[in-house]
Amino acid sequence: MIIIPAVDIQEGKCVRLLQGDFEKVTVYSDSPVEMALKWQERGAERIHIVDLDGSRSGAPRNWRMIEAVAKAVLVPVQVGGGIRDMKTVEGYLDLGVSRVILGTAAHRDRSFVEAACQKYPGRIILGLDARDGRAAVQGWTEATDASVLDIARRYEDTGVDAIVYTDIKRDGMETGVNVEATADLARSVRIPVIASGGVSGIADIERLLAVEKDGVIGVIIGKALYTGALSLEEAIRKARISRV
């Protein structure tokens, strides 16, 4: 299982939100580049970046900052937030981004996602964000009636590289990962799943490792790393032991 530190960007700064609420923001660094380099130095094998401003506006808003991060680090970078057309997908991949995450677009435009997967195999990730099992879009500001599982099943044969599944109620709360829902999703589709939202400590990593066999291939960690509740080195060490 791969451990993926999160670098969320708002107005050019590295921040964390509580439950996706843009009014409940904590700034952790004025330099997302320095933060990404810090996680790389501590052993990260991939960095997760979200353009929070882009996720609400529907178009990239922190492009230059994300470009700077992608050029500064040596490990793969995956980016989400405001990616709604092929031009944006191509632009990010041309910057050196390894994978792009399609969330709102996946709910609204299946043909676009299919075309992106066909053109860039292995480089498109499906972002599914949920409240009580129902998908939320537009930077988590709009609820839908669609279930996460129904959306995931639509994309089983498209070549999507993975699903990032986020439990919004737990995101930034350090209340524990929704392991049950994550594992249920992984068992129900043929697409690997990356857990996100609520990591509180090493116990969450251990619980996720226990369902790795079900198709949970990674976990994105944000606030727990920034507050020191979880050591990135310890999490990576645990994950590597499980590979042996």
Residue 244 has a CB neighbour count (10 Å cut-off) of 4
Of 152, 110, 150, 145, residue with least CA distance to 131: 145
Q: What is the per-residue pLDDT across 105-149, written as a single tens digit (0 to 9) for each?
A: 888 899 999 999 999 999 999 999 887 667 765 544 556 667 889
**Cβ partners under 8 Å of residue 96, min gap 6:** 67, 70, 71, 77
Residue 166 scores a pLDDT above 60: yes
Catalytic residue among 8, 51, 53, 204: 8
Neighbouring-strand partners of residue 107: none
Q: Is the dihedral of CA 12, 13, 16, 19 positive or negative?
A: negative
Active-site residue flag, 161 = no
Predicted local confidence at residue 22, as pLDDT: 76
Catalytic residue among 51, 129, 171, 184: 129
Structure tokens at 25: 């923001």
**Cβ partners under 8 Å of residue 214, min gap 6:** 183, 186, 187
Alpha-carbon gap, residue 242 to 227, rounded angstroms: 25
Active-site residue flag, 129 = yes
Q: What is the per-residue pLDDT across 25-80, written as a single tens digit (0 to 9) for each?
A: 899 999 999 999 999 999 999 999 999 999 889 999 999 999 999 999 999 999 99
| Domain 2-243, CATH among 1.10.3720.10, 3.10.50.30, 3.40.50.1580, 3.20.20.70 | 3.20.20.70
